[in-house]
Amino acid sequence: MGTFGLTVVRHGETRYNKEKILQGQGIDEPLSEMGFQQANAAGVFLSNVKFTHVFSSDLLRAKQTAASILSKSQFCKETAVKYDPRLRERKYGVAEGRPLSDLRTMAKASGEQCPSFTPPGGETLEEVKARSEDFFADLCSLIVREVCQEKQATERTAGNDTARAGVHSSTSLTNHHGSPEFHSPSMGATEELVANILVVSHGAYMRNWLSYFVSDLECVLPASLTKTELSSVSPNTGISQFIVKLESRDNIKPKIQCICLNRDNHLGDKQAERI
């Protein structure tokens, strides 16, 4: 049916990140000066990727990060960003606006451990997973529809102009990526990507989304990835990239390969603690 590239980026640093205070959904902080520098660095790193679709959490720190990334793009500065509340950070209820240490204290008092502990008014990990699963299912459905529409358009024009037969009638799905991270022999590296998707989200959400990829969709991980790296929260503007192959038959799980996870070498001296 088609193969698409998926790049997932965590938002840049905020003042609350630096001060180790939980934001969740109720604290809508803008990026700090360092956060904007990080977002610009991520944009430079991804500047050679032509994203056909861009999605972002509707929280301010993610919106600003997405805008900064696109501002550095060689191909898609004007690409419209679709803001989706399903990409929001995990809701931490009464713990939002409080130090991370308070959450750990609350978890210990309840006989639980972070991150499985759910503070009053917060989301469970299963609820976050449900959001990520729903978003990803809609994402795959969108790509399938666009591939089918493009195929139909090509078939309609083929009879009138043989020179155009086999050529895409729309440029919206043309692959112009130049990032070597997407070269994946085991997934068919020579196969053209029908789309390149950028998603900007949040640390805890991204960790839960990856857990869904691994546990439910059997995502293939890099051989060098350690268990600690797999369970760690992405640094601010950490970049993860995946190849997603959609099958032509219904009810067949997409094949997913993780090319890199929480990559941060674009940050240089703009590193920040992970929270």
Could you give the residue numbers annotated as active site?
11, 89
d(CA 11, CA 62) in angstroms, rounded, equals 5
Distance CA 239, CA 248 (A): 29
Distance of CA 78 to the CA centre of its chain: 19
Q: E-strand spans in the chain?
A: 2-10, 53-56, 81-83, 193-201, 239-246, 255-263
Please state whether beta strands 53-56 and 81-83 pair in parallel, antiparallel, or not at all (unpaired).
Answer: parallel
Residues with Cβ within 8 Å of residue 239, at least 6 apart in sequence: 7, 8, 9, 42, 45, 46, 260, 262, 263, 264, 266
Structure tokens at 7: 């790049």
Tell me the C-alpha to C-alpha distance, in Å, between residue 23 and each of 19, 27, 35, 67, 245: 11, 5, 15, 20, 34
